[in-house]
Structure 1
Amino acid sequence: MAFTGKHIFSRKNLLKIALLAAALQVQSTDLLAQDQKTFTVDMNKPKGEINPNMWGIFFEDINMGADGGIYAELIKNRSFEFFRPMMGWEKLGKNTEASMTILNRQEEEHQANPRYLRVDTRKADTTLGLKNEGFRGMGIKEGLAYDFSVLYRQANAGIRVKLELLDSTGQVIAETAFQPTADVQNWQSAEARLVATKTDPKGSFRMWFEGKGVIDLDMISLFPEDTWKGRKKGLRADMVQALADLKPGFIRFPGGCIVEGFDLSQRFQWKKTVGAIEDRQLIINRWNTEFAHRLTPDYFQTFGLGFYEYFLMAEDIGAEPLPILNCGMACQFNTGELVPLDELDPYIQDAIDLIEFANGSVNTTWGKVRADMGHPEPFNLKLLGVGNENWGPQYVERLAVFQKILKEKHPEVEIIASAGPYSSGEYFEYLDKELRTMNVDIIDEHFYQEPKWFLNNAKRYDNYDRQGPKIFAGEYAAHSRAATHAEQRNNWEAALSEAAFLTGLERNADVVQLASYAPLFAHAEGWQWNPNLIWVDNMKVYPTPSYYVQKAYSNNTGTHILSLLDQGAAVAGQDSVYASAVLDEEHRNITLKLVNVSGQAKQIALNLNGSQKLAKSAQVEFITANDLGAFNAVGKELRVVPQQTTLPVNKKKLDLPMQPHAFYTIKITY
């Protein structure tokens, strides 16, 4: 049968269409009413105070985070102290057996850095040279100056040293030279500057030795001029800026497992990381051989980023320093080597001396070391960790010795104790009980789990004892199993689950005093572990979705916890929504954080109860991605980033249409 327009729009059919449309509208309204959730925020009754330094960062030299990363030195193996003395270097020209040799100084003052290179050109048929490959290449920028320095010794003048920067094809893109002077016995220093004429992420460095003679070389160094705050031989500015943008409340350093070491000979010893750079004793990085599938044989710790630099960086970005010291135990996943209890004194003295280094007057031994390095003012250390991911009775009995002496000598410093590497189970429960019995100041809990665990544990701290030790969520990261390669482990699924979990930390900020993601940095070509908060290459930084989640919390800490309830209950996963709220009395605003982990949109009505006169609009930042596997790939445009908008606030009510798989930060001033 053929239908005509006249037939379709007959009076009878028009009536039916109108009735059907009305019914659909009513049904749609009913569905909306059913789907809409109403949350209530009580602004007049803060639940507890928030540590202003709650959200911080955890720094460990893993994934080439320090050497080859934030420490801006471009020369690899500058002092020839690697296990293979010429690793990173290539000899150029027609070398004879005696033309380039590694020698050891025997003088006591050089025991931390005994090796040096002797270049003898007297019998060479061609010009001799050296080439350094850098850390996975050298990131060179057009127009930027690069500062060369070296320690040398030359008994008789005769050699001229030519310096070159090369691009990835071997073409010279910067050059200069210096003329060493003669001194029979003493080591001298020389400096020179090269200005690049081309940008290349895979550059290298070359030296030529022109003329006839013998010259000894050590600490061959090259830094870009654009270091953080322009400090000579300093830190990579873009990496520090990424940390500063987090506005972290603290920096935990130097780890992590490198605190413990594979064995105690390889543990981190802070006293060997301060003073003149050339006097700091290089050691192997414990991540060099840790994973058979990610061996990194050229990974060593030069300690150009030492404890002084850590303290200084913390001060620069407004963060509290939080150093972690070895407690007399090597990593229990490796050798588990122990220091006998009656031989712990040197380890405890290291802790006492560190407090003096950080806080002591310039008239004290270690306070003078700090002052001589350029910082006569104290660093005001208030927190100190004893041990990292240690567990069992051996840890408890060693911690007890530290606790007794440190509390007698420095009761003003809070001690952070390890809850071990596990978040539940026999080992965790044993430590939790023992540490609470000891009444330690802060317990450090770690969480490396799948996203589902983070969603299921948003209420973890709801019933923790408010009268006992405080909590440091010292290492957390969601490990997505849906990833196909390293960077994708930092996908939106992982970050979204972390955002949900952190609402629980924020809701319980009266007991959770500190929190930090881990690890922090990873070089795209030098990583051992993933996921990580920030990926880098030789030229740029690439914040992950997890970085932006952490930033939303650390940039909006607040001063007091506010209750945010759904029918009288905390919003912790009901209908796949998580939420928390804070009040900032200092800046006169409230901040709400809401997470929708489902694939369905949500309509949320927020009732803001309180005597404050609120602004008429709210500032909204949100992050979302249709694909839970979305991530920010190194070398490409960032896919998962925050977006901004505003929402009206009408009579202390705010309507929030939540997109699927989305995290919202809402700030309202008053």
Structure 2
Amino acid sequence: MSRIARHRSRRRAVLTGTALLTAAFLLPVPAHAEAVTDYTITVDTGARGPAIDDTMYGVFFEDINRAADGGLYAELVQNRSFEYSTADHASYTPLTSWSVSGAAEAVDDAGRLHERNRTYLSLGAGSSVTNAGYNTGIRVEQGKRYDFSVWARAQAGTALTVTLKDAAGTLADSRKVAVRGGWAQYKATFTASRTSNRGRLTVATSADTALDMVSLFPRETYRNQPNGLRKDLAEKIAALKPGFLRFPGGCLVNTGSMEDYSEASGWQRKRAYQWKDTVGPVEERATNANFWGYNQSYGLGYYEYFRFAEDIGAMPLPVVPALVTGCGQNRAVDDEALLQRHIQDTLDLIEFANGPRTSTWGGLRAEMGHPKPFGLTHIAVGNEENLPHEFFARFQRFRAAIEAEHPEITVISNSGPDDAGTVFDTAWRLNREGGVDMVDEHYYNSPQWFLQNNDRYDSYDRQGPKVFLGEYASQGNAWKNALAEAAYMTGLERNADVVKLASYAPLLANEDYVQWRPDMIWFNNRASWGSANYEVQKLFMNNVGDRVVPSRASGTPDVSGPLTGAVGLSTWATSAAYDDVRVTSADGATLLSDDFSAGADRWRHVGGGNWTVQDGRYVQTDEAAENTLVTAGDPEWRDYDLRVTAEKRSGKEGFLIAFGVKDTGNYYWWNLGGWNNTQSAVEQAVDGGKSTLITKPGSIETGREYDIEVKVRGRQVTLYLDGEEWGSFTDDKPAEPFRQVVTEDARTGDLLLKVVNAQPSEARTSVDLGSARVSSRAPVTTLAAGPDEVNTETDTPVTPVTSTFRGVAPTFEYTFPPHSVTFMKIDRR
């Protein structure tokens, strides 16, 4: 039995009866579309496909887009411990989000509350401080209770007055707190007299007072737990019924310093996420600079992650750093003592999760309120490292130490940040040769890529490492993105013997603090809503099935022709100069020849930046501008050679040479010296979403002239750098819009037919179930919407709708709507 299969005790979520598919997606569409495409689906009901583990689909939480503080973590006060710093963000100070009336000073001295809680506020007699919360302010609801707490130090007899107001007046009766001397925690409770999204919390003092950890929590957290989670967000995650919870990242895991806290290192500034920083009493936990450009409090820490996973019935899956930085930093830490310390920290983490209460770290878990072990079975080491050899050498050290003491733990490796390329290939070779149990893959690509690559895992070695698809998304929250992801998920299920775990990413986004798109669940301080992608994930995750039933479908005729398009030049955070652009047809005819001696009138400026002709070259001078695309030529050009000379003048990256340019959202470009000048790649943009077709390590030198050539023949492209072939590709894989998978409920034998029709025409389909005996009535959930529809706080066009189909038979016809996902539960007698 696989280690994952041990989690089969979690309740199956296959839909039954009339309650089937309560998570459908249907925006009203015409009953009879003008265009119809005919398909067949043949189901081999007598055959057995791969088993699907209960942990197949899960969620990945990373503190990005204010997902923790100001998000899932229910604390309503921002910068509650006065620890914000310029190390977090250039604009931050210890008083960010606070306003002062009177005398107040942030202090970092020996009188602090705790060694890791460095800064506190010295508030003068008769003075006050007011906190603005997140988004528009502190959200309170009429009749709800809110728990205030503060750590304070003052002479006995000092009185604190705590108020909750907005611009219209009082939101709750004020509270008096009597301070009795040295550092101690004081508490009070508010009951909101009215609802407001713009509340402000004020603390005033009658005498000189030191304040720290000023906190306001809703009494009603998820499961009413103290130091708890925001109820609506946690409930939306729980509604997915995830099989696992991956945490805490992501780029948070392996960026920043791996060192211990110390005076020399500045204590809590720019330190990689390490689990021991996040447990114990909340007032003794550190804060830290978040990789995504803000501060993270660690009020939501490892204990809370484990507890949340348990509450929602998910397998906990923590990720620890391997001492190789990622996410563009690309540095291997060479320090044997530090490596040993991190390995021991990982062993201590396992003890914290699983150890008896008599052990050191199991005792801390029990002291925090959870005597029973959490039952950790999987742990991931590292995240998206771009140095595969350096990473794998350290990974092997972690794995050996873990397996020596805990052979029951599955140790997960990874394959870097992309779906293909030199890093990916090298990492997978090392993982295979090293006999790794499971490899974490990550990729973010265009909807077209997901439609083209449904068969990605069909050819993976069934005897090799299993796949954990830890991060994936199609670069948008429109219905077309979710539709492409749904089509791809049918391929994940079909390959459930290889793909053992899969999680969309990222999970959460506060609409006022966004560093990354797309995201599954969106929120502000008053509301939350599921994206179209959330609805797809919920549908699949609530209706997995126990086993795949082999099936096949006819395909859509491929109508693609040769690769056509104009040409272009661009830069990204770089200044570069271009010259001698020449485009010739396959028969040698000149289509474009421009040495810029007469200006640049033939070029159309469609991106940003500052383009001028200087000394007979076309120069982009704005180093801050991203995607400065200029284009020339005919969108119908085909079978041509593009030649250009280029020189990097300054900046972070290299050159972007575009070809096959149809418009601003549809083109290819050769990205030379991208990703902070660490690698080069060919990227394809389709409706604005990009996918990587080739990637290789490489950088571009400043001040050196490069000869660049792109040869287009049919759908094959060959690229040359300084006369040497750099690479080639053939873009001839169809973006199949019609995909299906069938799964079975092992208990009842019922079939779940899942069909994605990602095209603007109806799919009139003949379904052949062979000799299976079936009920004629089947609950159906269909989701369909315009491809550009997006769910928002006030409008959710992607919404579940259910119906009943009464024409099921061993062979029957069904017409699937345009742009739709349809789940049909077929009752086998």
Q: Distance in 1 between matches of 2:159 and 2:546?
A: 62
Among 596, 601, 604, the alignment partner of 2:765 is 604
When residues 397 and 341 of structure 1 are mapped into structure 2, their CA distance, relative to the original with a 3 A threshold, is farther
When residues 90 and 385 of structure 1 are mapped into structure 2, their CA distance, relative to the original with a 3 A threshold, is same
C-alpha contact 2:108 2:120 (8 A) present in aligned 1 = yes
Pair 1:304-2:299 in alignment? yes
Pair 1:88-2:97 in alignment? yes
C-alpha contact 2:316 2:378 (8 A) present in aligned 1 = yes
List per-residue Cα deviations over 1:480-516 (Å, max 9, x = no partner). xxxxxxxxx3001111110111111010001100000
Aligned to 1:278: 283
- Aligned-residue offset at 1:170: 5.1
Find the residue that maps to 2:317 and give its secondary structure: strand
Pair 1:546-2:512 in alignment? no
| 2:454 partner letter | A
C-alpha contact 2:37 2:762 (8 A) present in aligned 1 = no
Mapping 1:557-596, distance limit 5 Å: 557-566=544-553, 576-586=737-747, 588-596=749-757
Among 92, 99, 105, the alignment partner of 1:101 is 105
When residues 321 and 431 of structure 1 are mapped into structure 2, their CA distance, relative to the original with a 3 A threshold, is same
Q: Distance in 2 between matches of 1:558 and 1:333?
A: 39
Aligned to 1:178: 176
TM-score (norm 2): 0.70
Among 795, 798, 803, the alignment partner of 1:637 is 795
- Aligned-residue offset at 1:588: 4.1
| 2:222 partner letter | W
Find the residue that maps to 2:550 and give its secondary structure: strand
Among 287, 303, 306, the alignment partner of 2:292 is 287
- Aligned-residue offset at 1:341: 4.7
Mapping 1:484-523, distance limit 5 Å: 489-523=476-510
Aligned to 2:402: 406
Q: Distance in 1 between matches of 2:366 and 2:747?
A: 35
The structure carrying a bigger helix percent of its residues is 1
C-alpha contact 2:774 2:808 (8 A) present in aligned 1 = no
Among 306, 326, 335, the alignment partner of 2:321 is 326
Q: Distance in 2 between matches of 1:450 and 1:349?
A: 41
Aligned to 1:483: none
C-alpha contact 1:149 1:192 (8 A) present in aligned 2 = yes
- Aligned-residue offset at 1:242: 0.4
C-alpha contact 1:620 1:665 (8 A) present in aligned 2 = yes
C-alpha contact 2:487 2:756 (8 A) present in aligned 1 = yes
Among 293, 297, 309, the alignment partner of 1:314 is 309
Aligned to 2:814: 656
TM-score (norm 1): 0.86
List per-residue Cα deviations over 1:587-631 (Å, max 9, x = no partner). 5422121111111111112222365x5333111111111x21110
Q: More deviation in 314-323 or 104-113? A: 104-113
Pair 1:231-2:229 in alignment? no
- Aligned-residue offset at 1:641: 1.6
When residues 115 and 345 of structure 1 are mapped into structure 2, their CA distance, relative to the original with a 3 A threshold, is same
When residues 665 and 107 of structure 1 are mapped into structure 2, their CA distance, relative to the original with a 3 A threshold, is same
- Aligned-residue offset at 1:105: 4.6
Aligned to 2:443: 447
Q: Distance in 2 between matches of 1:401 and 1:586?
A: 43
Aligned to 2:62: 60
C-alpha contact 1:267 1:330 (8 A) present in aligned 2 = no
| 2:800 partner letter | P
When residues 574 and 602 of structure 1 are mapped into structure 2, their CA distance, relative to the original with a 3 A threshold, is farther
Q: More deviation in 648-657 or 548-557? A: 648-657
When residues 173 and 468 of structure 1 are mapped into structure 2, their CA distance, relative to the original with a 3 A threshold, is same
Mapping 1:40-51, distance limit 5 Å: 40-51=42-53
C-alpha contact 2:160 2:204 (8 A) present in aligned 1 = yes
Mapping 1:23-422, distance limit 5 Å: 35-83=37-85, 84-92=93-101, 95=102, 99-106=103-110, 110-121=114-125, 127-136=126-135, 137-157=137-157, 159-167=158-166, 169=167, 171-183=169-181, 186-209=182-205, 211=206, 213-264=207-258, 266-288=271-293, 299-334=294-329, 336-341=331-336, 343-391=338-386, 392-422=388-418
When residues 575 and 179 of structure 1 are mapped into structure 2, their CA distance, relative to the original with a 3 A threshold, is closer
C-alpha contact 2:553 2:739 (8 A) present in aligned 1 = no
| 2:515 partner letter | Q
* Structure 1, unaligned runs of 5 or more: 1-31, 122-126, 289-298, 480-488
C-alpha contact 1:160 1:177 (8 A) present in aligned 2 = no
C-alpha contact 2:508 2:520 (8 A) present in aligned 1 = yes
When residues 75 and 351 of structure 1 are mapped into structure 2, their CA distance, relative to the original with a 3 A threshold, is same
| 2:65 partner letter | N
- Aligned-residue offset at 1:130: 1.1
Mapping 1:462-481, distance limit 5 Å: 462-479=458-475
| 1:664 partner letter | T
| 1:257 partner letter | C
Aligned to 1:124: none
Question: How many positions carry a matched residue from both structures?
Answer: 600
When residues 143 and 603 of structure 1 are mapped into structure 2, their CA distance, relative to the original with a 3 A threshold, is same
Q: Distance in 1 between matches of 2:552 and 2:322?
A: 43
Q: Distance in 1 between matches of 2:303 and 2:43?
A: 44
Q: Distance in 2 between matches of 1:650 and 1:412?
A: 46
The structure carrying a bigger strand percent of its residues is 2
Find the residue that maps to 2:95 and give its secondary structure: coil
Q: Distance in 1 between matches of 2:329 and 2:374?
A: 34
- Aligned-residue offset at 1:447: 1.5
Q: Distance in 1 between matches of 2:196 and 2:112?
A: 42
- Aligned-residue offset at 1:49: 1.0
Find the residue that maps to 2:252 and give its secondary structure: helix
C-alpha contact 1:458 1:503 (8 A) present in aligned 2 = yes
Find the residue that maps to 1:264 and give its secondary structure: coil
| 2:345 partner letter | D
C-alpha contact 1:647 1:654 (8 A) present in aligned 2 = no
| 1:345 partner letter | Q
Find the residue that maps to 1:156 and give its secondary structure: coil
| 1:616 partner letter | S
- Aligned-residue offset at 1:309: 0.2
C-alpha contact 1:341 1:398 (8 A) present in aligned 2 = no
* Structure 2, unaligned runs of 5 or more: 1-33, 86-92, 260-270, 557-732
- Aligned-residue offset at 1:429: 0.7
Find the residue that maps to 1:218 and give its secondary structure: strand
Aligned to 1:616: 776
